Amino acid sequence: MKKFNVGVIGIGDISDVYLDNLKKYDIVNVVACAGRSLDKAGKKAEQHAIPKAYATSQELIEDPDIDIILNLTVPAVHAELTMQALNAGKHVYSEKPLAATLEEAERILALAKEKGLYVGCAPDTFLGGRLQTCRKIIDEGRIGEVTAATAFVVTPGPEMFHPNPDFFYKPGGGPLLDIGPYYMTTLLSLLGPVKSCCAMSKRTRLKRTIESEPRQGEIIDVEVETHITGNLEFVNGTIATMITSFDVWDSELPRIEIYGTEGTICINDVDPLDGPNLFGGPVFLRTRDNSRWNEVPRKKAYEEWEEVKVEHSFNEISQEKNSRGIGLVDMAYAIRDQREERASGKMAFHSLEAMEGLLKSAKEGIFYHVKSTFNRPEPLPVDFPRNEGMKTTY
């Protein structure tokens, strides 16, 4: 089996789960990492048994032994480093977002096409067992024709728990662009491309007080909209409503619901952040047979929902231990087999355009017509390989 050598740039906390997971797969081999200093890179290399450590991203990108760059740097430099890697002839898989602006993201895709290289992008949670089960229900026609959807992620704001929440309230941050990509990508993976969108938004407070240590009591400025309500019209005719907010103290809203002519899929959690940003969790289904409208008085909210068995892999419900990186692994197989990757740069670009379109709509009071498109990713096979000596043709 062909192996692809991977070099990792950006070795903060998020890198550990990637590096732990990539060891499980025969098709990729992490051979180098780079951080802000050689000392830091060396410690990360030693921790994960990585052969090479570099003091700078540029040194790693220029390494002729590397086939794929895993870009885990901060969003502000995603585009710059991805472009450098593409110019060096490397395929790239990036953490979200693909770039800080649409213009930068467009240049990335154009350069990748020119060079004949692959660009993949997180989030890859839509490849997890929960959302792949939702995809299977839809593809099998169990809820009939999909007509509408909702996606809700509402919290009181990251200053409640994050040690350095400033960047959430700077340009490029906010609830839509921070956690919204998980929800937008979920909708795109299930429903396909967006045709148009519109939104309203507000900035409830101009200043926030940090409530977490070590900066408890410090005041930070709010420079972005903190409550966005939007509507999305998909090419397939589905209408979706999306709410993202840092202004809501609590909620009983489901994270995602998909509505069809014959039934409803529901993703609901006790924890308000346990939605499409996790790989696993339960999937609930209601059809005409167990609808609460069949009798009066109606049943309680979660009586007699069918919990659909999740047969796919990658069904973790932990933020610390999860399957981040399966998008990169799938991209490696795609490069080998010359097919389209599932967590594609085109879908990440479309997601970014749709979210920017919502913000533009809210600011200017217009409908935004989405210009880009992408191919809805193929379902992930149930037996997508873990490193158990399994050989594969994917």
Amino acid at 162: H
For residue 332, the 8-state DSSP code is: H
For residue 173, the 8-state DSSP code is: -
Is 40 part of the annotated catalytic residue set? no
Q: Do the beta carbons of residue 354 and residue 197 sit within 8 Å?
A: yes
DSSP letters along 268-301, please? --SSTT-STTSS----EEEEGGG-GGGSSSPPPT
CA distance 260 to 240: 12
CA distance 123 to 186: 9
CA 238 from chain centre, in angstroms, equals 21
Q: Do the beta carbons of residue 25 and residue 50 sit within 8 Å?
A: no
Going by their DSSP bridges, the two strands 256-260 and 146-154 should be labelled as: antiparallel
Q: Do the beta carbons of residue 137 and residue 283 sit within 8 Å?
A: yes
Q: Do the beta carbons of residue 283 and residue 130 sit within 8 Å?
A: yes
Active-site residue among 43, 96, 136, 321?
Answer: 96
Amino acid at 257: E
Tokens read off for 183: 């929800």
CA 26 from chain centre, in angstroms, equals 24
Catalytic site positions: 96
